[in-house]
Amino acid sequence: MNTKMNLEEKVQQWFVDRNLHEANPVKQFLKLMEESGELFEGIAKDKSELIYDALGDIQVVLIGLDQQIKNGAQISANQQELELLLMVSSLGNISQKLYAHICHNETQIPLIKADLMFLDSVVSTVSFCNGTTAENCLEEAYEVIKDRKGKMIDGVFVKEEDLLDGTEV
């Protein structure tokens, strides 16, 4: 038996031992998005340890999600979870359009305006579900970033405290 199969079986058993093997796959999918965010953070900050951890965690979540679906787990979602699923779907649409633009030169300009507008409405709904408004959240975010210092690295603004090399900005 190869090592990966043995590890997958151990992870499956881990889910069974915690009675997660028949839990709601929507919750597991949200966990997948959380781990994906950690992967993106690790890549953006060039932190190998975070990347490796996220890649391992993503595999664990995928094994659990597969197990839940195979076991016929009840799939349900509250309003906020539905909005988050819509958000991820829209992000996927944008990703596909950017990918097609880059790899297949399908369009001169990726047509994503409608997707961006849709995401804005999802942000408003999720804000409402959490007792606030999108405008309040944007204002708070701006207050945090307005005086932020940092530098561009590979087309991404990296805030000063995340700079690994200690370079003055």
Q: Which fold has domain 1-76?
A: Helix Hairpins (1.10.287)
- Express each pLDDT in 44-61 by its tens digit: 888 999 999 999 999 999
Task: Say how far residue 54 (Cα) sits from the centre of its chain.
Answer: 11
Assign 156 to helix, strand or coil.
Answer: strand
Enclosing H/E stretch for 104: helix 79-104
Q: What is the pLDDT of residue 169?
A: 44
Q: What is the DSSP letter of 5?
A: H
Is pLDDT larger for residue 76 or for residue 154?
A: 76
Distance between CA atoms of 36 and 26, rounded to whole angstroms?
A: 15
- Express each pLDDT in 142-165 by its tens digit: 999 999 999 888 788 888 888 865
Average pLDDT, the chain: 90
Q: What is the pLDDT of residue 1?
A: 55
Classify the C-alpha dihedral 37-39-40-46 as positive or negative: positive
Those residues whose C-beta lies under 8 Å from the C-beta of residue 114, and which sit 6 or more positions away, are none
Q: What is the DSSP string of 34-99?
A: HHHHHHHHHHHTT-HHHHHHHHHHHHHHHHHHHHHHHTT------HHHHHHHHHHHHHHHHHHHHH
Residue 89 and residue 77 in contact, taking contact as beta carbons nearer than 8 Å = no
User: Is the pLDDT reported for residue 108 higher than 80?
Assistant: no
Distance between CA atoms of 153 and 48, rounded to whole angstroms?
A: 17
The reply to whether the predicted model has a pTM over 0.85 is no
Those residues whose C-beta lies under 8 Å from the C-beta of residue 8, and which sit 6 or more positions away, are 63
Domain limits, the chain? 1-76
